[in-house]
A = this chain, B = another copy of it.
């Protein structure tokens, strides 16, 4: 055991980054612009600002500035729960008997239970700064909704959350946490919006999906003066805010002169993976370093590994702009797996472009093997991971075991995005051997692809 490297590396408070990193600025092939679905022209700042706060709309469109200042108020909020620890998984390494070194950046040490708070506070801050009275949003697993509720409580804005129905039912206590922070939470699809009622009529037994919840939140925003919509993943602005993860991780590693060989993140909409890998990808894009990046997605919702790289709506109700991304089709309804945060049909446009350019790899994993990895991790490293995070754990373990075979001492970094305290129903199913491994057939995927907009020239 190298005594020189502690179990946990904490930056000092004054080492917390004061600027976010904007990955797009260093990409040679920029992500394709968001398009207005009516005109098929790139969305303008004015158009975006109907739905988003103006400053966030600016960030969404900014492909040029590599670094963007973090406002002081957000820096102060970050100090309440950041820096997050970069942890050396000594016990997991020992258990696996691997020559690999495993590190994870743990974002679960805050009440939202995940990295989502990094962007929630930023988005709510800009809403407050613009003089708004509240925000609407959606949540899958509930982590994003909790984060937004916390940020709104702190900055005293009102908060309306549409929670994907199967998560709402699987996690009644998540709703109660949001309520503690003063949020109003509805299961989605709900009867509160036109699009929700339409989906309920067509699919009365639907589990809901992030795409559907987004439609409802956007619709309510457009009907509510003084409100804007905010989103916890998929958007480029979210990757910008989440770059704090990678910036801290890289600064902590640099302190000890550690260079990761492999960087692994779970991928739903891409916010955690993009945030963790961003500052490392910069070095790769600038030709200074090389790293292997691996996105891990659920086999049941395989947007990168089995999706199409085309323009699609970000939501099921087709009310959002069009984004060019790896997508399973906005009409794809994923099965009710217990990683609600990864049940999304598309992938962030910048990550999609990087994947298309061969700069990142992607793999998928099945639910039970995810929970096997989660339990092994809990028992050796102590922390009970969120099912989403366990996707990254699974592949980190796989890579460490490859090293055991080859004898290589690779350095593996993965993002432990959050804790699984509100996922115990899922763990219970796993313990009782009642967990299913749904993998869509090609025919299943074809149903989703049917929902892609007919845009032959894009």
Binding site for B on A (CB under 8 A): 6-8, 10, 12-14, 79-81, 91, 109-111, 113, 150, 153-154, 172-173, 176-177, 179-182, 375, 378-384, 419, 421-422, 424-425, 427-428, 431
Distance in angstroms between the alpha carbons of A155 and B8 in the assembled complex: 21
A80 contact set on B, CB distance < 8 A? 7, 91, 381-382
A180 touching B384, Cβ below 8 Å? yes
**Which of B8, B14, B81, B110 meets A79, CB within 8 Å?**
B8
Q: Is the CB of A427 within 8 A of B383?
A: no
**28 A-B Cβ contacts within 8 A?**
A7-B80, A8-B13, A10-B10, A80-B91, A80-B382, A81-B382, A91-B154, A110-B382, A111-B382, A111-B419, A111-B421, A113-B421, A153-B378, A153-B379, A154-B380, A172-B424, A173-B173, A173-B424, A173-B425, A176-B424, A177-B384, A177-B421, A179-B427, A179-B431, A180-B375, A180-B427, A181-B379, A182-B379
What residues of B have a CB within 8 angstroms of the CB of A181 in the complex?
378-379
- Assess whether B379 is in contact with A176, with CB atoms less than 8 Å apart: no
Nearest 3 Cβ contacts at the A-B interface: A173-B424, A6-B13, A176-B424
Residue among A80, A110, A427, A428 with max Cβ neighbours from chain B (10 Å):
A80
Contact A109 B109, beta carbon cutoff 8 Å:
yes
B8 touches A111 (CB 8 A): no
Most buried by B among A91, A154, A180: A180
Chain B residues with CB under 8 A of A384: 111, 177, 180
Q: Binding site of A, secondary structure by majority: helix, strand, loop or mixed?
A: helix
**Most B CB within 10 A of own CB, among A6, A7, A153, A419:** A7
Inter-chain CA distance A384–B177, complex, in Å, is 8
Contact A379 B154 (CB under 8 A): yes
Contacts A6-B79, A421-B421: A111 and B431 contacting too (C-beta < 8 A)? no
Q: List chain B residues, Cβ under 8 A from A154.
A: 91, 379-380, 382
Complex: A425 Cα to B172 Cα, angstroms: 9
Chain B nearest Cβ from A174, distance in angstroms: 8
Taking the closest CB of chain B, its distance from the CB of A103, in whole angstroms, is 14
A111-B419, A431-B179, A431-B180 as given contacts; A150 in contact with B13, CB under 8 Å: no
Q: Which residue of chain B lies nearest to A371 when distances are taken between CB atoms in the complex?
A: B180
Residue of B nearest to A89 (CB): B80
- Chain B minimum-CB-distance residue to A146: B384
Q: Which of B79, B113, B424 has a CB less than 8 Å from the CB of A7?
A: B79
What is the minimal beta-carbon distance from A421 to any residue of chain B, in angstroms? 4
Task: Tell me how far the C-beta of A256 lies from the nearest C-beta in chain B, rounded to whole angstroms.
Answer: 12
Report yes or no: A431 in contact with B383, Cβ–Cβ below 8 A: no
How many Å lie between the Cα of A427 and that of B383 in the bound state? 24
Shortest Cβ distance from A72 into chain B, in angstroms? 11
**Are the CB atoms of B431 and A176 closer together than 8 Å?**
yes
Q: How far is the CA of A80 from the CA of B384 in the complex (A)?
A: 13
Give the chain B neighbours of A379 by CB distance below 8 A: 153-154, 180-182
For A12, the chain B residues whose CB sits under 8 A away are 6
Q: A375–B431 Cα gap in the complex (Å)?
A: 34
Residues of B within 8 Å of A153, CB to CB, are 378-379
